[in-house]
Amino acid sequence: MPLTICFYEDAQFSQFYPLTYLRPVYFLRPGILPLYQRCEKHFPDATVCFASRNQISSLVSQQGKDISVNIVKKGTGDVLFLNGRIRDYGDLPKSVQGCRLNTVFKNGGETLGVLFKADSLKTVSALSTPEIYKEILPKHKSVSAEYDTNAKLYNYLWEIVEDMAAALNEDFKQIESTFGSPLNPKIHDGSHFINENDVYLGNDIEIFPTAVIDASDGPVYIGANSKVHPQAVIIGPCFIGANSIVLSGKISASSIGPTSRVGGEVEACIFQSYVNKYHAGFIGHSYVGSWVNFGALTTNSDLKNNYSNVRVKVNGIETDSGLMKIGSYIGDHCRFGIGTLLNTGINIGVSCNLFGGTFISDKEVTSFSWGSTGKYEKYDVDKAIETARTVADRRNCHLSAKEEMVLRAIFNEEISDDGCLGF
């Protein structure tokens, strides 16, 4: 019988700030595919829906007309609730197939998922909220069990960035069968491909002379309608989303979302979408939200001079990442003036405007900050939204009233976790 999977968030969503201010954790992308979509490898025939925080549910529903948000469309089979932070499925898929009882899957005291067997759902309507399922779980204690799985969860953004190279390779294998011969490619003489069999191109792509695409260390995918300009070097494993432009510079071991413009040096980074890094400058080992603009020569540090572990501050709490290489975590709609230098492991909130051609020495910058270290003012929310709307218009997009409402809530520090299930 067909399985229904509902991805949900727990209270740890805030540990992934600033990226989860405007999106659920299961929309984060360690490689090519967002976390929720990677379940297709393990549950290829399942129907997927989402449980979302109420504050951002309208933004989740904007992602597509077929997406069911905060409504579980129960079929005739089992229903599996999966923690959206899932990192490694481990023995979970096999265990789900073998379970005869409602089962709570745990690892180290954390819940990774809850399986509801079809027989226990006879009183649940075909369309129910995720909260209904949470309420009925205690009522079936006599036919429920707990299972210690070796599946794992993400806890912080730097773990997602750390997994990127492996995730890119896994995702390439998962979706390789969907690749075909590109239509209307324009590959100019003088461009160079290394290990060409692992280079995948979308339709209507253009590769200019002296561009180099090197798949020696992993596959490279460049999406449809993208352009790779002269003297650009792309080193795999690497994903470049559709409608993007790669300028002169080096992009290595990175996942670049659609409609981005990327130049200079980018190493081991994840960009969501509509990111503009047109000019020279280095960004490394970072996770960058959508609609971020890097002014010329904006550069971050991703390694301390003494090579010690980088400590990262999230929500005012400083944590040892356990890693030597940590870059920047940058929220949506941020802007950086020319020559801005970013501290190692800096966490920058939503809609910040940082400038002054100076070193931003903070470990954490709150949302809607305007200025530079020691000189911050509060960015006027109306002006910030006006700028965001102008930037979207330039890309033939529209800043929705739903996103504006969430941005105003962030400005007013009215962040709500209503809708987190926390089984």
- Give residue-wise pLDDT tens across range 398-415: 999 999 999 999 999 999
Tokens of 209: 């002379």
> pLDDT tens digits for 33-62?
999 999 999 999 999 999 999 999 999 988
Rounded to two decimals, what is the model's pTM?
A: 0.95
Q: Which residues contact 368 (CB under 8 A, 6 or more apart)?
A: 349, 350, 351, 352, 378, 379, 381, 384, 410, 411
Question: Does the N-terminal peptide bond of residue 237 adopt cis geometry, omega within 30 degrees of 0?
Answer: yes
| Cα angle, residue 352 at apex, residues 346 and 354 outer, rounded to 5° | 75
Higher pLDDT among residues 187 and 122, named by residue: 187
The predicted structure's pLDDT at residue 237: 97
Instruction: Mark 159-189 as b/e (b = at least 16 C-beta within 10 Å).
Output: bbbbbbbebbbbbbebbeeeeeebeeeebee
Report which DSSP code applies to 184: S
| Mean pLDDT value of segment 197-224 | 96
How many Å apart are CA 337 and CA 323, to the nearest integer?
29
Q: How confident is the model at residue 143 (pLDDT cuts 50, 70, 90)?
A: low
Report which DSSP code applies to 351: T
Query: Burial level of 31, CB count in 10 A (0-12/13-18/19+)?
Result: buried
| Residue 342 reports pLDDT greater than 90 | yes
| Residue 278 reports pLDDT greater than 70 | yes
Residue owning tokens 């399985």? 3
The predicted structure's pLDDT at residue 140: 63
| Residue 65 reports pLDDT greater than 80 | no
Nearest to 14 by CA among 24, 3, 28: 24
The predicted structure's pLDDT at residue 1: 66
Complete DSSP assignment for 42-94: T-TT-EEEE---GGGHHHHHTT-TT--BS-EE--SS-EEEEETTEEE-TTHHH
Report which DSSP code applies to 325: B
The predicted structure's pLDDT at residue 122: 87
Q: 369-371 and 377-378 as β-strands: parallel, antiparallel, unpaired?
A: antiparallel
Query: Burial level of 40, CB count in 10 A (0-12/13-18/19+)?
Result: middle
Fold assignment, 4-155: Spore Coat Polysaccharide Biosynthesis Protein SpsA; Chain A (3.90.550)
Residue % of the chain over a pLDDT of 90: 88
Q: Which residues contact 343 (CB under 8 A, 6 or more apart)?
A: 300, 301, 359, 360, 361, 362, 363
- Coil vs helix vs strand at 393: helix
Please give the span between the terminal C-alpha atoms of the chain, in angstroms, as a whole number: 25
- Coil vs helix vs strand at 36: helix
Tokens of 141: 């204690």
Nearest to 411 by CA among 22, 54, 26: 22
| Mean pLDDT value of segment 121-140 | 87
The predicted structure's pLDDT at residue 180: 82
- Coil vs helix vs strand at 233: strand
Q: How confident is the model at residue 142 (pLDDT cuts 50, 70, 90)?
A: low
* Ranges of each domain in the chain: 4-155, 159-411
Query: Burial level of 26, CB count in 10 A (0-12/13-18/19+)?
Result: buried
Q: By mean pLDDT, which of 119-123, 283-287, 397-401 is the weakest?
A: 119-123
Q: How confident is the model at residue 144 (pLDDT cuts 50, 70, 90)?
A: confident
Q: How confident is the model at residue 141 (pLDDT cuts 50, 70, 90)?
A: low
Residues facing residue 187 across a β-bridge: 207
The predicted structure's pLDDT at residue 56: 96
- Strand order of the sheet with strand 102-107? 47-50, 4-8, 79-83, 110-116, 102-107, 144-148
263 within 8 A of 279, measured Cβ to Cβ: yes
112 within 8 A of 91, measured Cβ to Cβ: no
Nearest to 116 by CA among 11, 246, 8: 8
Fold assignment, 159-411: UDP N-Acetylglucosamine Acyltransferase; domain 1 (2.160.10)
| Residue 218 reports pLDDT greater than 80 | yes
| Residue 244 reports pLDDT greater than 60 | yes
